[in-house]
Amino acid sequence: MLTLFHYDRTSAAQRVRLCLEEKSIPWESIIVDTALGDIDQLPKNFYELNPKGLVPVIIDDNLAIPESLVIIEYLEEKYGGNPKLKPSKPEDLAQMRLWMRKIDEGIHVASRTIGVCLVNRHIYKKKDPGQIKKYYKEMKDKVRKKNDQINIEMGIESPLLEEAMIEFKSLFVEMDEHLSKNTWLAGDNYSLADISFVVYLHRLDSFMMRPLWKDFKYLDNWYEKIKKRSAYKKAIYDWGDVTADQRAQNGKDAFPKILEYWNKAK
């Protein structure tokens, strides 16, 4: 049986769970909460599975595959079946991949910035300093490490948070415009592109930021439509979020500053 290393609230693992549940692929869960700032709780061979030491990672037929966007395309290609999550038309497939490129081009980094500024920094400050020092010493992604250091120190005053909100507004404007003329992001059917991006709306929603896109009715309708899918409940809601209360409160407290950043974007 396929094994997934993951934890509840990471958007990257959420998209893998969404794909697994949409395809009804049986899987085994192993929780590895890499957001706690504690590398000692990682499985001993975890860096062999993913040199970055991050989730999600799947093991399928003794093959370890990291990186959520790689994983979901692998699942679609290997397991097939219904629903088909990749468009059949070449032009729609190209569009799907162009959307998904935006994740690696900055959206995922922006998403992490929001999480660190609003929640993770508070978690880390309660941890043993030696443990956090060890966590960052072992962190392989130098950009992630540098950004975290700025965001932990400055919180909602971080210039990276302002950049993140501007990045998300630009994305949401583009998505809303596209969805005003199309039902889904790539082609006529729900696809890996939709799965890849809905997790970010869920993330911002968990920080009480949904009012930011209240005027983007096509985007919001798309979000609501996906939330009603049975796979969404299994992949997102049923796994919960151990930081839910803290996210909601910190998001409410930070909202005036978040709105200020949002309004700076064109």
pLDDT at 37: 87
Instruction: Pull the structure tokens for residue 157.
Output: 């005053």
Fold of 2-79: Glutaredoxin (3.40.30)
The answer to whether the CB of 211 falls within 8 A of the CB of 263 is no
The correct answer on CATH 1.20.1050.10 for the domain covering 90-264 is: yes
pTM as predicted: 0.97
Cα distance between residue 154 and residue 85, in whole Å: 40
**Closest of 55, 2, 14, 11 to residue 33, by C-alpha:** 55
- Tracing tokens 């005003």 back to the chain, one arrives at 180
| pLDDT tops 80 at residue 266 | no
Question: What 8-state DSSP symbol labels residue 121?
Answer: H
Q: For residue 13, what is the enclosing H or E element?
A: helix 11-23
Write the pLDDT tens digit of every residue in 77-125. Answer: 999 999 999 999 999 999 999 999 999 999 999 999 999 999 999 999 8
- Out of 40-44, 52-56, 200-204, 220-224, pick the least confident: 40-44
Write the pLDDT tens digit of every residue in 6-62. Answer: 999 999 999 999 999 999 999 999 999 999 888 888 999 999 999 999 999 999 999
Pairing mode of beta strands 27-31, 2-6:
parallel
Cα distance between residue 2 and residue 71, in whole Å: 12
The answer to whether the CB of 55 falls within 8 A of the CB of 34 is yes
Give the residue extent of every domain in the chain.
Answer: 2-79, 90-264
Cα distance between residue 75 and residue 19, in whole Å: 8
Alpha helices in 25-128 (DSSP H): 46-49, 68-79, 90-102, 108-115, 121-125
